[in-house]
């Protein structure tokens, strides 16, 4: 799959999107094991649990929905625990982790650890 980028897209973003496509070729969410997708911006973290077969978002959490003074890794861990709490309430215990082209390091790793502590397995 070829990406069509505008001339204003940075090289860093192009590299992440290329990795994202490569990852998504193999990582796919099903009804038994939906996909836990992570997005990070400069200030916030977002996590969604998606069933790719039906194209439905089953659960979601973000740093915008959490009232806390934490930031960085601590905030990401809380988002992971929050998405795990919502998923467990909807009887989802096992997921596939989609790091969305980001390195498994820092805030992405903290979110994954928080989701594991919350009860999700992947």
d(CA 49, CA 52): 10
CATH numeric code, 23-118: 3.30.420.100
Summarised one tens digit per residue, pLDDT across range 75-92 is: 999 999 999 999 999 999
Summarised one tens digit per residue, pLDDT across range 11-36 is: 888 999 999 999 889 888 888 999 99
Q: Would you state the torsion angle of the CA atoms of residues 37, 40, 45, 51, taken in this order, to the nearest 10 degrees?
A: -10
Residue with tokens 């009232």: 67
DSSP-derived letter for residue 5 is: -
**Extents of the domains making up the chain:** 23-118
pTM listed for this prediction: 0.85
Q: Are 81 and 47 in contact (CB under 8 A)?
A: no
d(CA 75, CA 110): 9
């Amino acid at each position: 799959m070829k990406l069509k980028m505008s001339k204003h897209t940075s090289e860093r973003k192009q590299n992440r999107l290329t990795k994202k496509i490569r990852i998504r070729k193999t990582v796919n969410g099903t009804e038994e094991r939906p996909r836990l997708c992570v997005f990070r911006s400069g200030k916030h973290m977002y996590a969604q649990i998606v069933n790719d077969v039906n194209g439905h978002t089953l659960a979601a959490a973000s740093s915008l929905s959490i009232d806390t003074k934490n930031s960085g890794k601590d905030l990401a861990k809380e988002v992971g625990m929050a998405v795990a709490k919502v998923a467990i309430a909807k009887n989802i215990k096992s997921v596939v982790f989609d790091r969305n082209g980001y390195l498994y390091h820092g805030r992405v790793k903290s979110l994954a650890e928080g989701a594991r502590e919350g009860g999700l397995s992947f």
